[in-house]
Chains A and B, each alone.
Chain A
Amino acid sequence: METEAQAKRILEEAKSETQETLERAAVEAQNVRQAAISHAEQQKAQILKDTRERAETDARSSDMETNSLLENYKKLFEERREVAVKKAVDLILGG
């Protein structure tokens, strides 16, 4: 009787250990996934931040090119205005 009880205890202890092992594995698996997702989300946030910053830099460069072009137009206008007016008047007069 005592031997059977001892054998049964051995098996129950093994079962309990098994249960703990599987539970630990499940928790660890969950942690692994959460950690991976969390890390990926951080990387994503950084990628989007970097992208926005780079795009803003490029956009500022486009603004500067445009500003320079507009300045050039103003200069051209001052230089060529009289000629343009004369040509346009001649066109209307048809002479």
Chain B
Amino acid sequence: MAESLDKLHNRILSDARLKAAETIRDAEEKAKRTLDEARAQAQRDADEILSKASLEAEGIRRSILSSRIRANRLRILDEKNKIVQNVLKSVEQKLSEVASTDQFQPTLKRFVTEAVDAIGMDDAVVRVGFYNADRKSLESLGRTFPRGTRLVVDENPIDDLGGVVASDAGGKMIFNNSFRARLERLDNQLLTTISSTIFGE
């Protein structure tokens, strides 16, 4: 009787130990799974952070470079513009002094002819005005005009730089052939000429 009680006693304890061991094993397996999942998730989190960092880095690089390149392009354009404006200033200076050069008489005749032709009237009025132009030589030019054309000599240079303005007798039709007007009309060609000469473009 005592022996069978001992056996029962041992069996109860043995069962308890087995069950305890199984419980602990399950917990250890669960703990291992938890850690494995955590490691995998940590790797995914890290990958995502680095992937975003890579995109962010590319954005930063593009932003730094594009803003600097844009700024440098503006510097280049600004410098070119300054150079062209400087040349244009010299051109205006030269044009205002043209009356004292050999080019004056042929230029004047050409400007007058162009302006009168543009008006296309027999009774055109031609106004001329240049810096330092000899009034007598301007007036003598009137004799070379077609019959009916009237010459008016301005004391002041027309449009600041000098030139010729033709109109019909009523002043309704006007052709401005001043240097300033020609500078504006030939603006594109002028810029191309200056740029190609200076910059070779």
B12 contacts A63, CB within 8 Å? no
Which 8 A-B pairs rank lowest in CB-CB distance, beginning with the nearest?
Answer: A14-B20, A29-B38, A25-B31, A36-B42, A7-B16, A18-B27, A44-B53, A40-B46
Binary per-residue interface labels of chain B (39-60) against chain A in the complex, 1 for a CB within 8 Å, 0 otherwise: 1011101110110111011101
Question: Does B107 sit at the interface, judged by CB under 8 A?
Answer: yes
Question: Does B179 sit at the interface, judged by CB under 8 A?
Answer: yes
Q: In the complex, which of the residues A14, A19, A37, A94 contacts B45, with contact meaning CB atoms closer than 8 Å? A: A37
Of the A-B pairs whose beta carbons lie under 8 Å apart in the complex, a sample of 15, sorted by A's number, is A10-B17, A17-B24, A25-B30, A25-B35, A36-B39, A37-B45, A37-B46, A40-B45, A47-B54, A73-B76, A73-B83, A80-B198, A88-B194, A92-B190, A93-B107
Which residue of chain B lies nearest to A8 when distances are taken between CB atoms in the complex? B16
CB neighbours (8 Å) of A84 from chain B are 87, 193-194, 197-198
- Min Cβ gap B74→A in Å is 10
Q: What is the interface size of chain A, counting residues whose CB is below 8 A from a CB of the partner?
A: 63
B interface majority secondary structure? helix
B50 contacts A43, CB within 8 Å? yes
* B interface, size bucket: 35 or more
Given contacts A3-B13, A29-B37, contact A44 B31 (CB under 8 A): no
B95 contacts A55, CB within 8 Å? no
CB neighbours (8 Å) of A35 from chain B are 42
What is the CA–CA distance of A60 and B19 in the complex, to the nearest angstrom? 73
